[in-house]
Amino acid sequence: MFDALSIGATGMHAQQLNVDTIANNLANVNTSAYKKSRVSFSDLVVRAGAQQAAASEGGPLGAAPGIGAGVGAMATTKMFDAGEIKKTDSPLDLAIHGEGFFELAMPDGTRAYSRGGSLKVNADGQLATRAGIPLKPGILIPDNAEAVVVGANGRVQVRVAGQATLVEAGQLEMVRFTNPQGLVAQGGNTYRASEASGEPIGGRPGEDGMGTIAQGFLEGSNVKLVEEMVSLMVAQRAYEASVKVVQASDEMLGLINGLRR
């Protein structure tokens, strides 16, 4: 019964994390390029040392090798399924069709990666995210630019005042990862690489497995409301079941404490 109390507690803790993750997904249903998260669970078992100790003391665990000890959250991973591409008609909104991330030059000198293509021209005249983080490689937009044209292959051209022809401004590049689920989210629709994701593989849009760029579009969140609501109900029922286990164990302990000789 003491084991049932701790097992029920692990179930409650795991499902609380599950509910928190689903709540975050629902909160970001309208966040551009947001990728939903999923919690992976694994069963817990009593270690061999604990089994041997219980057996030497005549406990019940010695007769039940590999007895379950509850559930634990193994990992929270991002699901990089493509979101819906939405038309915005803004020339600085860029959506990625297919694999790939924009590389960002962070203020501390590190690199970050994002699929959020809502851009602006920052104070230094560079193409940057809405937070002002410039894309890498840096692309300068002249002060007298009247229009910015981005091709599907990432070629950036501008139309400046007094000229009829387009002027080259630079070439957008992207990176992809062998295992994007291993990327570590750090807020603001940005990620950093990890050992699990592998090193970034650079390339131009439309080449070497990279996706293409659509100007005037944004990728929406890949959160599906119906799926998240169903998952929320399942998590709630699982939490309630763990609570029932704890309550039943507590009642049984109360009966034992009430025994009289």
Q: What is the pLDDT of residues 9-28, one digit of tens each?
A: 999 999 999 999 999 999 99
Q: Are 36 and 120 in a shared domain?
A: no
Same domain, yes or no, for 148 and 176? Answer: yes
What torsion, rounded to 10 degrees, do the Cα atoms 67, 38, 202, 115 define? Answer: -170
Residues 214 and 228 occupy one common structural domain:
no
108 and 182 share one domain: yes
Mean pLDDT of the chain: 88
pLDDT interval class at 258 (50, 70, 90): confident
Name the more confident of 19 and 261: 19
User: The domain containing residue 43 runs over which residues?
Assistant: 2-80+223-257
- Looking at the structure, tell me whether residues 105 and 75 fall in a common domain: no
Are 136 and 238 part of one and the same domain?
A: no
Q: Which residues pair with 149 in a beta bridge?
A: 157
The amino acid at residue 161 is A
More confident residue, 228 or 60: 228
Q: What pTM was computed for the model? A: 0.82
In a shared domain, residues 106 and 184: yes
Q: Which two tokens stand for residue 110?
A: 């590190």
Which is nearest to 46 in space by CA: 58, 33, 34, 64? 64
Find, among 99, 97, 93, the residue nearest to 113 by Cα.
99
Same domain? For 96 and 180 the reply is yes
| pLDDT for the residue 61 | 47
Cis before 137? omega within 30: yes
| Predicted local confidence at residue 205, as pLDDT | 94
Residues 182 and 139 in one domain: yes
Same domain, yes or no: 174 and 208:
yes
What's the pLDDT at 257? Answer: 80
Q: How many domains does the chain have?
A: 2
| Per-residue pLDDT reduced to its tens digit, 61-82 | 445 556 788 898 888 889 999 9
Mean pLDDT of 123-138: 91
pLDDT at 98 over 70: yes
pLDDT value of residue 44? 87
Verify that 91 and 129 share a domain, yes or no. yes
167, 204 in Cβ contact below 8 A?
no
Average pLDDT over residues 176-199: 92
Q: Which of 67, 150, 137 lies closest to 102, judged by CA? A: 137
Q: Both 165 and 126 in a single domain?
A: yes
